A and B are shown apart, each in its own frame.
Chain A
């Protein structure tokens, strides 16, 4: 891959109490690439994404975003990140415009450009008509869109989305997929999902996690080579996590 690396994780491990949730996960993301993170429930997808976004500190290992070590230069690293967690972090009593402007300020968008960034993010997420609405009064699908808008408003080089299409209707899912593809042209996107055809449609590469370990990491085409993506996924995740080389 010739394009520059925007995000790299080395040997991430995270314990919850004495139980390890994620063990030795390493991955790399390049500019203009969409990476899909797959795995069963409880495979450690959300924990991994939270560590990549700097919300959780890894027990060991480190993350570099745009060449900044997230533990040593958090402010510089986090400025390059946009993150949509599993539960969108929305203030229900704020209006969409106020909330997104607040998110933009938090991510150090210059004050003069906030309006432009705000309008672009709203237009991209199909929120142009809801600027004055209270977030609490929006439907779940629209709240999810506000969550995505919040993650991309400062136009970060790395975008991390934890199950971005949950709670959306089929048309919205299609729109969001198009958006993710579009974002993938200029930024790097990493997303977790349960939907295999979503991966097939929008991801360039796939990482499969099982019991906190990487059991597959390659291009989507490679996953599809032998059989269709669903049976490949089931074949891979049916094997025990130990002793499988990615």
Chain B
């Protein structure tokens, strides 16, 4: 049942021309940044060659790219998640799901996994582009993998957050802005000092960004995702009267 819903979500995403436009634009932006970073690196390469333990091409190019991708996805994902539930409510198709013999858990997981599949495609396309570094130099694939994992976990977290906001309202725009505002807030926390800093997903992303995969960060992301999915399920369950 989860698969049926996920497949339907993915299908809906890919029949919409706007999805293709967004994918194309994203690839374009990403390629632009890639070339710009590459250019910068080539200009300072001569100086770097004289340094002891100079930063390699991967950390100078791939890591900043992953940060850019993370920020772009933070702004983009609410636009996808707003459709998932809020738009179904507005189009009055939500009732088809609530009167079908499926649980709130299945509805939420189906929709979430459908979107996650598309985000995975986006991130995989970017991963392939970054891996083209290997054509010119000895790319550090461990670092690239760490970065891609980080971006993917971050995207999955934003998707869970966005899905929760989508479940709260019947206005897609409100859902998108709500999710975006909270994402920005969490991003801002990164710049603060003190204990609240650990609440920001971006702080945990930064470790992965420099190639450090620690259990604490992974656990944080998993808790973040599971937490928001549970909140969404609970909200829908209550709305349906404890079903």
User: Which residues of A line the B interface, CB within 8 A?
Assistant: 50, 53-57, 71, 74-79, 81, 83, 85, 87, 89-94, 98, 102-103, 105-108, 150
Contacts and interface: CB of A to CB of B under 8 A. Distances in A.
Interface of B: 1, 4, 8, 11-12, 15-16, 91-103, 240-243
A93 B16 contact: yes
A91 B95 CA distance: 12
B99 A55 contact: yes
A54 B98 contact: yes
Q: Label chain B's interface by main secondary structure.
A: loop
Contacts of B97: 106
Nearest to B96: A89
Nearest to A59: B241
Contacts, number: 70
6 contacts: A53-B99, A54-B243, A90-B93, A94-B12, A105-B4, A106-B97
Contacts of B95: 50, 55, 83, 85, 89
A85 B93 CA distance: 10
A75 B103 contact: yes
A41 B46 CA distance: 81
A155 to B, nearest CB: 14
A79 B93 CA distance: 18
A83 B96 CA distance: 8
A105 B2 CA distance: 11
A57 B240 CA distance: 6
A83 B101 contact: no
A217 B90 CA distance: 35
A53 B242 CA distance: 15
B92 A75 contact: no
A83 B93 CA distance: 12
B243 A89 contact: no
B212 to A, nearest CB: 43
B241 A83 contact: no
B94 A89 contact: yes
Contact of A74 (B4, B12, B96, B101): B101
Contacts of A50: 95
B98 A55 contact: yes
Contacts of B91: 91-92
A78 B16 contact: no
B101 A76 contact: yes
